[in-house]
Amino acid sequence: MRNHLIGAAIAALVAAAPSAAQSRPQTHDGFTVSVGLGGGSAGVSCVECESSRERAPTVYLRLGGAVRPNLVLAGEINGWSKSESDQGIDATITIVTINAVAQWYPQTATGFFVSGGVGLGSMEAKANAFGESLSDRTHGLGYQIGTGYDLRVRPNLAITPFVTYFATAGGKVESTGEKANANVVHFGLGVTWP
């Protein structure tokens, strides 16, 4: 139910965006910051395993600058994390990517953008079972693609509904050397300056 409400809110904002863009011009100039929260569906795969997709909260932070009115270059961190407890076992899995990102606006007068990036990705699993702590992690290639809309509410402030796919590839589990990959589809709302 909650995911349906978030999806409906994002759809309403995107539908209203073209008329709002006409009344508040887009500004892509100089330093920019964007931060957002949402929800995401994550999957993990390795040689001898395949997980069902799990839902959990997501977050992103992007810092960069406009090199042209329709192009922003930035660094972006995306994260997903889920914790569960069952019969004395507490487990947490976290997936993070840190990427260099290009965000392109096909029409500078509107807030619609597409983005893509590449960098580093990691996945970490921790468990506490009956007083004993275990943890393992992978490191590998990180990458992402996404889209969104900067809905300008003030000349230097926008609300940004977004959808981003971020993933890790080629990572190896530190304790075993086994290859493991992870991916997340996340969506939500961000706040962007300017």
Cα 107 to Cα 114: distance, rounded to the nearest angstrom: 11
Residue 21's pLDDT band (cuts 50, 70, 90): very low
**For 95-110, how does the pLDDT look when each residue is reduced to its tens digit (9 = 90+)?**
999 999 999 999 988 8
pTM of the predicted structure, to 2 decimals: 0.84
* Across 30-36, average pLDDT: 96
The pLDDT mean for the chain works out to 88
Residue 3's pLDDT band (cuts 50, 70, 90): low
Q: What residue ranges do the domains of the chain occupy?
A: 2-193
Contacts of 174 (CB under 8 A, 6+ apart): 136, 137, 138
Cα 34 to Cα 113: distance, rounded to the nearest angstrom: 13
Q: What is the CATH number of domain 2-193?
A: 2.40.160.20
**For 50-84, how does the pLDDT look when each residue is reduced to its tens digit (9 = 90+)?**
678 999 999 999 999 999 999 999 999 999 999 99
Closest to 115 measured CA to CA, from 19, 169, 182, 192? 192
> Measured between alpha carbons, how far apart are the two ends of the chain, in Å?
33
Partner residues linked to 93 by β-bridges: 82, 125
